[in-house]
Amino acid sequence: MKHTSPLTLGGIESTLATRALGRRIELRDRIDSTNREAMALGQADAEHGTLVLADSQTAGRGRLGREWFSPPGINLYASLVIRTTLNTQRLSQWLSWLPLMTALGTAEAIEAVGTARVGLKWPNDLLIGDRKVGGILCESGASIRSGPFQVIGIGINVNGDRADFPRGLRDAATSIRQETGQEVDRHRLLVRVLEELEECLEEFLVHGFERLALAYRRRCTTLGKTVKAVLADGHECVGIADGIGDDGSLTIIQEPARPGVPSEVRHLRAADITHLR
Ligand code: BT5
């Protein structure tokens, strides 16, 4: 594994033009999980935009207790503490859209450093072709003094080679460098992620979700595909992914169980999706 230039605060702060995101940075060489640390900081009243960044993670988290492969020297592992003062109705919409907005902003940032089209597998996997280049993990917490907050965690495979992934991930994962043949400056990419993300969050707060939803739908490669969805309770369903609802849910037209039985429409709030064809 060939390490690229180390992450430094100066390398980030010299070009960062955000208002809030990354204005406080906790940079670690090695950490268990940046999301775990950001949750702890949120509980200790850290301000909106606080960023935890690490060169490697020893217990990087995926969704549903899965692991995120997080070797040193080549990738980005970043988590942000997010606070809003929205009323209850808009807060619920915000919570639904936050993972999708994060995926959208991150995809735009990755493309901006020169990759081919980055697609989104609902809800928040970042794909180049059909391989995963990044993932998003959103969590929620609260502290007595500062109230509720969210943590958004972003993992991006940046400068690794195919051989740097464990065998089990080599066919399903990719990195920006694998796709472009070019090494990417991690500072430049991170700054772009923070800027794109801040724009998405502001767009939601000022105009609502509509334009974000349009941009998300355009990028979502799940739409139109036949997919298998595994629901939180373990149930599976197969059908055509037909749309993204205003609450960020995925509409699936389920294949009829038997010929002659009408197809059933389902709106999934959370599920694990496999693209079948
Ligand atoms: C995700 O979970 O895709 C969310 C990943 C979020 C990681 C970031 S890193 C910074 C922050 N701190 C954390 O502790 N986490 C966040 P999920 O959809 O559950 O995908 C996990 C699955 O993706 C695993 O079960 C593997 O199959 C695969 N995987 C693991 N590591 C990978 C990697 N580096 N690249 C591509 N695929 C990977």
CA of 161 to the centre of ligand 1 (A): 17
**Within 10 Å of residue 256's Cβ, how many Cβ atoms?**
12
Cβ of 175 less than 6 Å from ligand 1? no
Bridge partners of 83?
Answer: none
pLDDT for 93 equals: 93
CA distance 9 to 187: 9
Nearest-CA residue for ligand 1 atom 23 is 68
pLDDT for 229 equals: 94
CA of 261 to the centre of ligand 1 (A): 38
Contact 271, 236 (CB under 8 A): no
Cβ of 106 less than 6 Å from ligand 1? no
Cβ of 84 less than 6 Å from ligand 1? no
- Of ligand 1's atoms, which has the minimum distance to the CA of residue 35? 12
DSSP conformation class of 49: T
Contact 101, 94 (CB under 8 A): no
CA of 117 to the centre of ligand 1 (A): 20
Bridge partners of 237?
Answer: 229
Strands (E), the chain: 25-31, 51-57, 76-82, 118-121, 125-128, 131-143, 147-156, 226-231, 236-244, 250-254, 264-268, 271-275
Residue 62's closest CA among 99, 25, 111, 109?
Answer: 99
pLDDT for 64 equals: 87
pLDDT for 175 equals: 97
Cβ of 68 less than 6 Å from ligand 1? yes
CA distance 112 to 98: 21
CA distance 117 to 176: 11
Pairing state between β 236-244 and 25-31:
unpaired
3-state DSSP helix/strand/coil percent for the chain, to nearest 5?
A: 30, 30, 40
pLDDT for 155 equals: 98
pLDDT for 31 equals: 98
Cβ of 103 less than 6 Å from ligand 1? no
Give 74's contacts (C-beta < 8 A, 6+ positions apart).
Answer: 1, 2, 3, 4, 157, 158, 159, 160, 164, 175
pLDDT for 164 equals: 96
pLDDT for 45 equals: 97
pLDDT for 114 equals: 83
Query: What is the chain's pLDDT, residue by residue, as a tens digit (277 residues)?
Result: 777 789 999 999 999 999 999 999 999 999 999 999 999 999 999 999 999 999 999 999 999 889 999 999 999 999 999 999 898 889 999 999 999 999 999 999 999 998 789 999 999 999 999 999 999 999 999 999 999 999 999 999 999 999 999 999 999 999 999 999 999 999 999 999 999 999 999 999 999 999 999 999 999 999 999 999 999 888 898 999 999 999 999 999 997 777 888 888 999 998 899 999 8
Packing angle, helices 210-219 and 88-112, rounded to 10: 40
CA of 120 to the centre of ligand 1 (A): 14
CA of 259 to the centre of ligand 1 (A): 39
